[in-house]
Structure 1
Amino acid sequence: MTHRQAVATMLLVTLLWSIAGVVTRHLESAQTFEVTFWRSAVTALVLGGWMIARQGWRGLLGAIRAGGRTLWLSALCWSVMFTSFMVALTLTTVANVLITMSLAPLFTALIARVTLGHRLPLRTWLAIAVAGGGIAWMYGSQVGAGTGRDLIGTLVALSVPVAGATMWTLLQHNARQHPETRSDMTPAVLLGALVSTAVTLPLSLPFAASAHDIGLLGMLGVVQLAVPCLLAVAAGRVLKAPEASLLGLLEILFGVVLTWLGTSESPTVEVVGGGSLVLLALAGNEAWALWSGSTRAGASAVTSMKVS
């Protein structure tokens, strides 16, 4: 995959990720946990079939055994992300959920700072401060208005970036402790979907979803989750981390716009204003990191040319 193809792939990935909000707003009768169950079940079925076709039962079981504790902890994080995301969408607005999830890069930086001792550059501290102001603006009005359902939905959504940040920190810690081990962490996504399915099954009974709802949620399991996850892994092998993070922010813009166009749900002034601050902070942080990396690479190339 060329760099241009990787960028185009990530644009497609973010567009596919962003359809969850507008699709869930067209469900007829599926309840909170049932929404998660059907999507996770179909995702597990598709990913499991793809992995078995790719490497066979023995290969898949071998990859799970080789992953050890880190793979299972990663799977637990994936299950939290799969479950909390869909539950949050049933409790609060799409814009609230997506903007709250966008804090993942900053949570990752903070957790890595505390657990791994990573030093944070000034740009990241500035981004954290600006994003914090945006979040306070967004949700301060909800506290004053007493919209308890929105606050609960926001807290549920907050577990998604926390789980994601924990997962990436675990993987980085494992790579640091065992640099010789090249375990495949892809099965963690499958295990996460299976755990999410198992946990939400008893909470979904008795089923209330119509055939229409199951069709939409099954489509999300394939088109919105399984396929883009595989595409993102492929694009991630080519793109730099800041590039991927910056492109990933488009999911928020796509999701809010699609929901606004496809439903009667529209973001409030506070969500637009506070969310803009969050996006500005995140985009500025990642763009600065990308520019700094390009500048250093250019300087190294010039130095190399002079020496030669």
Structure 2
Amino acid sequence: MVSRGVTVPLSTLREERKGWLLVFLSALMWSFGGAIARFIENSDSWTVIFWRSVWAAAFLVCFMVWRDGWRGTLKLFRDMGLPGVAVAICFVTSSIPFIIALAYTTVANILLMQAGVPLLAALIAWALFGEKVSRATWAAILAVIAGIVVMVSDSLHATVSPIGNALALLIAFSLAMATVFTRRYANVRMTPATCLGTMIAAVVAAPLASSFEVTGRDMGFLFAFGVVNLGLGLALFATGARLVPAAVAALLGTFEPLLGPIWVWLIHNEVPSARTIIGGTIVFAALLVHIGLEFRRQTHPRRPGVTGMPSPS
């Protein structure tokens, strides 16, 4: 695509759109986490973390072996280096607090706190690596923050645990860091990094779990929790986030906290408050408008003086 001195290769646009789709699908998979967790009867958070992480690690290993073979998989682990280790740690510090936070607050509170991830990712990418963020993306981010303020304002009362909110903030920061590192080191395949993160989580949870025994019913939901929600979500994210700017990847990830409370509402009748619904509507509208503008930008020539999103390097 050519526009007054600016040429954008068609292959670049296709890769970026592929990244959009993959990151959205990862958010969709992650959004089922709260609904699945509510089906699990085992009350020991560390037992849940252990089995969820084990199933996720098993899925990711099988995925990489199917895609790259045993030798290719081992090479991916060797080549991920420190950026891969950093991403693994980020996912450990997001997956473990999620399960623990469920014991202190609602699924809606945990997930909707994550709507701040786009702003955090944009700020981190700008501060550490000088990655530019378009005005349209900043506007969408501010709208998302406005929506989350409306939602969180309803939970500022004595019945909400500060521990739950603190863990939710830790999850948001960790996901923002993982998004930035994945985008910054786009040449590094991050699937083994996410796999390493699940392995570390399992090792951490093992000595803290009261028992590894769970019912057959719970194991079925733990399998879905680990494979579909965590493992598949991580694989999609690791593949797609390196193809789009960090702020855009984080913005698409906001579909997780937006959809998550809806599934819990529909399946478990955990009804969100009026402010949660209003704030969620603001977030959803901001996402739809931004996505529409981005596709318009990609299919129409840019006018002089208008700064668009940086293309993947």
Provide the C-alpha distance between the structure 1 equivalents of 2:153 and 2:49, rounded to a whole number of angstroms: 28
Aligned to 1:178: none
Instruction: Return closer, same or farther for 1:246/1:286 CA change in 2, 3 Å cut-off.
Output: farther
Matched, 1:73 2:86: yes
- What letter matches 2:159 in structure 1? T
**Could you tell me how far apart the structure 2 residues matched to 1:241 and 1:5 are?**
15
Distance 1:10 1:112 in 2: 18
| 1:54, distance to aligned residue in structure 2 (A) | 4.1
**What's the offset of the Cα at 1:42?**
0.7
Q: Distance in 1 between matches of 2:154 and 2:300?
A: 42
CA RMSD of aligned residues (A): 3.5
1:37 and 2:50 correspond: yes
Contact 1:101 1:158 in 2 (8 A): yes
Aligned twin of 1:200: 205
Q: Say which of 10, 15, 32 aligns to 1:19.
A: 32
Distance 2:217 2:16 in 1: 39
Q: Quick check: 1:170 aligned with 2:181?
A: yes
Structure 1, residues 199-236: CA drift from partner, whole Å, max 9, x if none? 12222224574332222112221122223443556667
Structure 1: how far apart are the matches of 2:53 and 2:269? Answer: 27
Q: Which runs of 5+ in 2 are unaligned?
A: 1-13, 305-313
Residue range with higher mean Cα deviation, 33-42 or 246-255? 246-255
SS in 1 for 2:265: helix
Give the alignment partner of residue 169 of structure 2, picking from 142, 151, 158: 158
Aligned partners of 1:121 and 1:228: how far apart in 2?
27
Once the two structures are superposed, what CA deviation does each residue of 1:49-96 show, in whole Å capped at 9, x if it has no partner? 332354444433322222211111111112222222333333322222
SS in structure 2 of the partner of residue 205 of structure 1: coil
State the match for 1:212 in structure 2.
217
Give, in whole Å, the separation in 2 of the partners of 1:60 and 1:272: 44
Kept in 2, the 8 Å contact 1:28–1:209? The answer is no
Q: 1:291 to 1:65 in 2, by over 3 A?
A: same
Deviates more, 1:63-72 or 1:82-91: 82-91
1:271 positional shift: 1.7
SS of the residue 1:142 aligns to: coil
Q: 2:134 & 2:213 partners in 1: Cα distance? A: 50
3-state SS, counterpart of residue 41 of structure 1: helix
TM-score of the superposition, structure 2-length normalised?
Answer: 0.76
- Contact 2:144–2:283 under 8 Å retained in 1: yes
User: How far apart are the structure 1 equivalents of 2:287 and 2:246?
Assistant: 13
Show the counterpart of 1:85.
98
* Native 8 Å contact 2:91 2:197 kept in 1: yes
Higher mean alpha-carbon deviation, 27-36 vs 50-59, is at 50-59
Q: For residues 10-59 of structure 1, what are the alpha-carbon distances to aligned partners after superposition, in whole Å with 9 as ceiling and x for unaligned?
A: 77655433222112112212322322221111111121233235444443
Given that 1:14 and 1:251 are in contact with CA atoms closer than 8 Å, whether structure 2 keeps it comes out as yes
Residue among 190, 197, 213 paired with 2:195: 190
Does the 8 A contact of 2:20 with 2:240 survive in 1? Answer: yes
2:308 aligns to what? Answer: none
- SS of 1:132's partner is helix
Q: How far apart are 1:263 and its partner, in Å?
A: 0.8
Answer yes or no: is the 8 Å Cα contact 1:243–1:286 preserved in 2. Answer: no
- Any idea what SS the aligned residue of 2:131 has? coil
Kindly provide the amino acid, as one letter, of the partner of residue 212 in structure 1: R
Secondary structure of the structure 1 residue equivalent to 2:301: helix
CA shift for structure 1 position 188: 0.3
Contact 1:17/1:225, CA 8 A, preserved across alignment: yes
**Who is 2:8 aligned against?**
none
Distance 1:227 1:152, change over 3 A: same
Separation of aligned partners in 2, 1:2 and 1:133: 31
Q: What percentage of aligned pairs have identical amino acids?
A: 32
Say which of 158, 169, 186 aligns to 1:146: 158
Which residue pairs with 1:95 in the alignment?
108
**More helix by proportion, 1 or 2?**
1
Residues 210-219 or 194-203, more deviating: 210-219
1:146–1:10 Cα change, 3 Å: same
Aligned in 2, Cα 1:169/1:255: closer, same or farther, shift over 3 Å? closer
How many angstroms apart in 2 are the aligned matches of 1:156 and 1:30? Answer: 18
Question: TM-score scaled by structure 1?
Answer: 0.78
